[in-house]
Structure formats: structure tokens, C-alpha cells
Amino acid sequence: MKLTLKSVQKLTDQISEFNFETPADASHAWAAGSHVELETSAGLRSYSLIRWPNENINHFRFAVKCEHSGAGGSQAMHTLRGGDVINAKNVRNNFELVDQTYPIILLAGGIGITPLISMAVELHEQDRPFQLHYAVRNAESAAYATELQQLFGDRFHLYLDDTNPIDLNGLITTNTDHAFYICGPLGMINAARSLAENTKIPASKIHVELFANTEIENENTPFEVEIASTGQIVSVAANQTIIEALEEAGVDVMFDCQRGDCGICATDVIAGAPDHRDVVLSEAERNSNRVMQICVSRALSERLVLDL
């Protein structure tokens, strides 16, 4: 599906909103939590779709933070101008709004606000109880804060790290009867999940999506993967994921999100130490070093032996 860029709006110094027109004959049905996969000049990238109340969804709207230390996808997006055409490969949803019986807490960190906007709109239209909590570094980086405050009133809570940082412990321990939808950087997600686990909130009530750059080449080191069934050795470069290296070597693996939050690429580890970077595995699973998500996680040892 070819998308035509209708407009770009600068929201903050680093974040811009992109509004793409979709073909007239394309299916526009998508639910809150969905993301679109785009073929950028830096490769395939996924961005969460935003819908506001009473909005016609014959277009794709999303926001992108420009990461100068990243793998190039966000920088490629920020070079686009009105009228440019880009290919969309898929619209997927690994972060569905599934809880029907619990009040909802939506918790966003930074650019992780984007999928939660559509969720909040859907809950608002259904007149369901929810709270939207949004944590950012400072007021200048709070994209959409004014619109969200006007739309949701006292159900919207903004936290600024430099003046009134979020109290995750208080938020989670005083709302154990809620289901949580959390989107943001890995550190925030891990902290929230740990607090929820300590508070005995069932894992089934904690839903997460990761918004983090796991492909920073200068922080990664190369390593090797051994395929247990064949003995084949595959080298994984600093700027490659395990999945990319395996596919390049002709090894077929199952995967979907490539962001570490859907769980489809879970692979048993026979030997070696994984460097876990997903948001799917429990603390016990991570500590066992017997399973990993090969789309984003890497190795602490020089070689991993995988049950493939």
C-alpha cells in the first residue's frame, strides 16, 4: 500500500507528527494499539497509529521522535516532506485493548504516549473508567499534553522529571484493581512490571509495548550463534539482530513485531548467556537463561547455542 504524506507538524524539538493519506480502495479498519510498518530508507520501521475523537481514519497519523544515535529509521522519517510517497507493508496489533471487566490505567513514558492516545479515545467513547498517566523529561518534550488535558480533564495526569516526577510505586500499589497498559522505555516498563509483581497484580492484567532503541551499534558487540540441530555457526554483527543474521545465513525463523513485545520469536537457549532486552519474559524466565526473544536480545557471552 502506497501512502502519500499530506502534512508534517513539529510537536517538540525532537518529535514530529506525520499524516499520510491512504489509497481510496484500501481497508482503513484498525483498532487502538495498532501500528503500521513502513519501508523507510533505513529499513522496515513500525509506528503506532493515533486516532482522535470523531476522526475519519482514511489516513494514518503517527508521531516520530528523531533519535540521532539510533539505527536511522527516525532520521529517515524526518527527511520526508509533503507529497512524498512511502510504502506501508502491514498494519498489525500486538498491543490490543483486551480487558473488558477492569478499570484501566494507561501509563506512557515519552513517545510511548502514541498508542495510548487511541486507547484513551476508545475508552472515552465507550464511557469506560480509565486514567491516562504521561511521564516526560520536561514540559518542552510533552507532545500532545495540551490536547490530552483538554479532552480528558482530571483523567489525564502529566509528570515532569524536573519538577513533579511520577511515583510509580504509589500509582501501582494504590490501583491493584486496575488493568495496566504500559508503553515507554525499557527501564520504566521493567520497573512497573516488578512493582506489579511485588503487589501481586496478575501478569494477565499487565500489558506492555516497548518504545526503545535496541539497535545502537556503538553499544553492541558482535557474537556468534550456534544452531543446535545442525552445528551451523552464524556471526551476529554489532548492527544486526539475531533474526537478521539468521535470515542472512538462510535460517528460517518465526517472528513478528521485531520489538521484543509480542513473544512470537521466543527461542530456547541451550548454552551461553543472553542479554535480555525484551518486555515479554518474566524475571524468573530471564534469570533461568533458558529462553530469549531473538528479535531484540543479544549475548553477554561470545556464543549462544540456540535450540533451532
Domain presence at residue 277: yes
Whether 154 and 70 map to the same domain: the answer is no
Residue that is last in its domain, among 92, 121, 149 = 92
* pTM, 2 dp: 0.76
- The predicted-structure confidence for 49-98, as pLDDT tens digits, reads as follows 999 998 766 789 999 988 765 556 678 888 889 888 999 888 888 889 98
Together in a domain, 241 and 206: no
* Residues 6+ away with beta carbon under 8 Å from 92: 34, 35, 37, 46, 256, 257
Question: Do 171 and 203 sit in the same domain of this protein?
Answer: yes
Is 98 among the domain residues? no
Same domain, 115 and 85: no
Q: Is residue 97 part of a domain?
A: no
- The enclosing domain of 61 has a CATH number of 2.40.30.10
The per-residue pLDDT for 57 is: 67
Residue 181: which CATH number?
Answer: 3.40.50.80
The verdict on 221 and 200 lying in the same domain is: no
Do 195 and 119 fall within a single domain?
yes
Please write the tens of the pLDDT for every residue from 1-57. 889 999 999 999 999 999 998 877 666 678 899 988 888 877 778 899 999 998 766
Please tell me which residue, 119 or 273, carries the higher pLDDT value: 119
Classify residue 258 as left (phi > 0), alpha (psi -120 to 50) or beta: left
- Is 289 in the same domain as 198? no
Question: Of 288, 292, 296, nearest to 307 (Cα)?
Answer: 292
Q: How confident is the model at residue 219 (pLDDT cuts 50, 70, 90)?
A: low
Q: How confident is the model over 181-205, as pLDDT tens digits?
A: 999 888 888 888 889 988 989 888 9
CATH number of the domain enclosing 270: 3.10.20.30
Contact 53, 32 (CB under 8 A): no
Domain boundary among 70, 92, 114: 92
15/72 same-domain check:
yes
Q: Please give the residue range of the domain that contains residue 195.
A: 104-210
Contact 5, 19 (CB under 8 A): yes
Mean pLDDT value across the chain: 87
| 290: nearest Cα among 308, 303, 274, 302 | 274
Does 99 map to a domain? no
* CA atoms of 78 and 189, how far apart (whole Å): 27
For the residues of the chain, what is the DSSP string, one character each?
-EEEEEEEEE-SSSEEEEEEEPPTTS-----TT-EEEEEETTEEEEEE----TT---SEEEEEEE--TTSSSHHHHHTT--TT-EEEEEEEE-SS----SSS-EEEEEEGGGHHHHHHHHHHHHHTT--EEEEEEESSGGG-TTHHHHHHHHGGGEEEEETTTB---HHHHHHT-TTSEEEEEE-HHHHHHHHHHHHHTT--GGGEEEEE------GGG---EEEEETTT--EEEE-TT--HHHHHHHTT-----S-SSSSS-TTEEEEEES-EE---SSS-HHHHHHTSEEETTT-EESSSEEEE--
Name the domain boundary from 40, 70, 92: 92
Same domain? For 11 and 38 the reply is yes
Residue 226 lies in a domain: yes
Number of compact structural domains in the chain: 3
Q: Tell me how far apart the alpha carbons of residues 47 and 76 are, in angstroms, rounded to a whole number.
A: 13
Same domain, 110 and 196: yes
